[in-house]
Every structure is written in C-alpha cells, then in structure tokens.
Amino acid sequence: MGAETFWIIVLGCAAATFIWRALGVVVVKRIDSSGAFFQWVTCVSYAMVAGLVFRMIILPESQLAAVSIEIRVASVIIAFAAYFLFRRRLVAGVVAGGVSLSGLVAWLG
C-alpha cells in the first residue's frame, strides 16, 4: 500500500468517527435536556460505556487476552477493595489493580 492509501484510511476514520459526534450535537440542539428522550439517551450511553469497560476486562481483544480470567477478576476485586479501603481514592484502586495483575502474571505465569 502507498502512503496515500494510509492517509486516506486515517482521514476517513477520523471523518467517520466525527459523524457520530456531529450527530450528537444535532440531537442535543433539538431536544429538551429534561425530557424523557434525553434520559433514555443518557441511559444508553451509560450502558454502552459500561459494556465497553466490561468487554475490555472480561472479553479483551488486547494483549490482556493472554492473561487468565481468574487473574483479571482477582485484580479487579483487589482494585475495588483498595479503592474503598483508601476512602474512594481512584489512584489507590488503579495502582493496586495494575500491580496485582503484573504481580500475579509474573508469579503464576
């Protein structure tokens, strides 16, 4: 493939993503942000984002797929425990979870 093809791909993907953002703006301009439709869209966005995060952890397509599900779930539990233990400090949860995952992989393989 030539460089032009790669540029077309990058710019095409940027435009194709921007379409969704622009459609969002179009919808925002037309709806009442205290109405039922807005609440429904909000619920859809929460469901989508939560689903994406769930997929990234439980059904990953990244290098995490090579890590066993037991290690991933154990690390999430440790992260949540650290988060609540340290008075809802995000840093505590994230660091505990990341270190646990690396540690468990190094230890159990």
Partner 1 sequence: MEKLTTMVTGNNAVMRKAMLDALSLPAFILFFTMMGFGSLARGAGFSAEMSALSSLLIWGLPGQLAMVELTATGQGIIAIVFACSLANARFLPMVVSFVPAMSRGRSGLGGMLLDAQLLSINSWAVCLREFPGIESEFRHRYYLTFASSILLAAVIGTLVGYHGSVLLPAVMMLGLIFISPLFFALVLLGVAGRAERFSMILGCATISIAHTLFPSVDLLIAGIVGGSVGFAVGRSWKSGHGR
- The residues in 28-87 that bind partner 1, with binding defined as CB under 8 A, are 28-29, 31, 33, 36, 38-59, 61-64, 66-67, 72, 75-76, 79-80, 83
Q: Give the per-residue SS3 of 34-73.
A: CCHHHHHHHHHHHHHHHHHHHHHHHCCCCHHHHCCHHHHH
Contact residue for partner 1 among 18, 68, 73, 108 (CB under 8 A): 18
CB of residue 77 to partner 1, shortest distance in Å: 11
Nearer to partner 1, 55 or 70 (CB): 55
